Amino acid sequence: MKRFLSLLAVAILAGVLTLGAYKAFLEPEPDKVVITQSESKTSAIPTAYTVANTKLNAAAEVGADFTIAAEKTVNAVVHVKQYGVTRAPRNLMEFFRNGGEEERRIQGAGSGVIITEDGYIVTNNHVIDGATDLEVTLNNNKSYKATVVGTSPQSDIALIKIDPQEKLSYIPFGNSNNAKIGEWVLAVGNPFNLTSTVTAGIISAKSRDLNELDRNFQSFIQTDAAINPGNSGGALVNTRGELIGINTAITSQTGSYVGYAFAVPSNNAKKIVEDILEFGDVQKAIIGINAAPFTEDYKEKYKITESQGVIIAGIEENSGAAKAGLQEGDLIKEIDGLRIRKFADLTGYVSSKSPNDVINVKIVRDNNELIKPVRLSKYVIQQYILQDVGVEVANPPKDYLKSFNTDHGVVISKALSARMQRYNLKGLIISEIDGKKVKNVMEVKEIIDSKYDDEDLTISLIDRDGEKREFVFQ
């Protein structure tokens, strides 16, 4: 027994010595962690902490409202499929084999928002542009053929119609002027053909001007709710389920969502829809001013001391602004109580109004604030592009037609196509289109809009010798 205990003691001692030697000489030194304590006291708030602040509590309640808003809207957002025909070659082999004239049926897809129970739907113009057929699929998988009621390419808004057998769920228009930066919103649409997709975010900015998109309408709502290809024409709604925007565009280097999405405000979309239903086209209102860039040079020129607003650089003759007494150098600060910080604020608000509406414009002149009631006038297009001909036409200057011995017509202001640029067409008069006399650019547009895509176009041209010639374009 003694021998056993002696062997055990020796074994334990040897183990201790071996472990100590390993610790001292062989084991790698661990990374050193230095902990410092700040002199100032800090505290961590647990995630379940309830703040006794009404604004924060309201934000917490908003989280619970996402499901309510989604339920109200998901059945009123549809999948829009458009079918068209193209003759463009897909590759060089097809070009050389068929001369680039092979006809192919193409398909595109987007989203739309039901705005009435009898089947009126708002979408983007680029979703339905060039379509020969439109198909709308509801959230319950029922499909309908759709017809185009009217479009506004400048605002990228279109109104289409289906004829359902039952009353449809729809989204009521909200007031986009009341939308606030930081407010929670939902984007509802069909990205990548994934139907009935809902994403959430906040309003990041309002009256966003996107010059790189080359759009005439420049007053978007910016949001960080995820929007991807296929979301175009879908709904941007607030937490009450009200429509405050039509999702239209993203900025991205990849073509997919990277955090920036843009929507046409609902007030502007609603006005376009009402105009199309009442007049057949959009009645655009203008205030009648030319704005100057808000730079230090112009601020110094007009003695502007404010840091925001719209500087008036010119007044259009016989416009509402001229009749109201607005002057060059005035600074527009508010319209109908709405703060005007930049030109996009002004255009966005005026675009939601109609000709003959009266708006109250607050201006700063000589450091004094004045309020001027301005009656908006109707915008009349001054230029129009005849795509099939390859020229731009404009309303002729006063007395210009006399030198061509005619009392009607529009003037060719620019040759656009390479073919037309070979001829000296600038300044010549187009007096008739398809045998119909034209007196202004608007009449030219109306004739072109009434034609089918495959119809020939006949124009009557008056040259510098007063000779009238007819040309047919296919």
**Distance spanning both ends of the chain, measured CA to CA:** 118
Tokens of 47: 């995630």
16 phi and psi angles, rounded to 5 deg: -65, -45
**Which residue among 79, 111, 156, 431 is the active-site one?**
156
Buried b (16+ CB within 10 A) or exposed e, 244-256: bbbbbbbeeeeee
Among the options 65, 126, 196, 463, which is catalytic? 126
Catalytic residue status for 79 = no
DSSP for 374-432, written as a single string: EE-EE----EEEETTTTEEEEPPPTTGGGGGT-S--EEEEEE-STTGGGS--TT-EEEE
Does the annotation count 297 as an active-site position?
Answer: no
Instruction: Find residue 128's DSSP bridge partners.
Output: none
**Which residue type occupies 107?**
Q
Q: Which residue has the tokens 């105009």?
A: 275
Q: How far apart are CA 97 and CA 101, in angstroms?
A: 9
List Cβ neighbours of 105 (8 Å cut-off, separation of 6 or more): 83, 84, 85
User: Quick one: 96 exposed, middle or buried, by C-beta within 10 A (0-12, 13-18, 19+)?
Assistant: exposed
Contact 220, 262 (CB under 8 A): yes
- Rounded Cα distance, 232 and 234, in Å: 5
Catalytic residue among 204, 232, 266, 351: 232
Q: Please, how many CA atoms are within 13 Å of residue 173, restricted to the half-sphere of its CB? A: 19
Q: Please give the Cα distance from 340 to 312 (Å, whole number).
A: 13
Phi, psi of 241 (to 5 degrees): 80, 20
Count Cα neighbours of 281 within 13 Å in the Cβ-side half-sphere.
13
The maximal CA–CA distance of the chain, rounded, in angstroms, is 138
Does the annotation mark 463 as catalytic? no
Closest Cα partner for 149 from 113, 122, 116, 189?
122
Residues belonging to the active site: 126, 156, 232
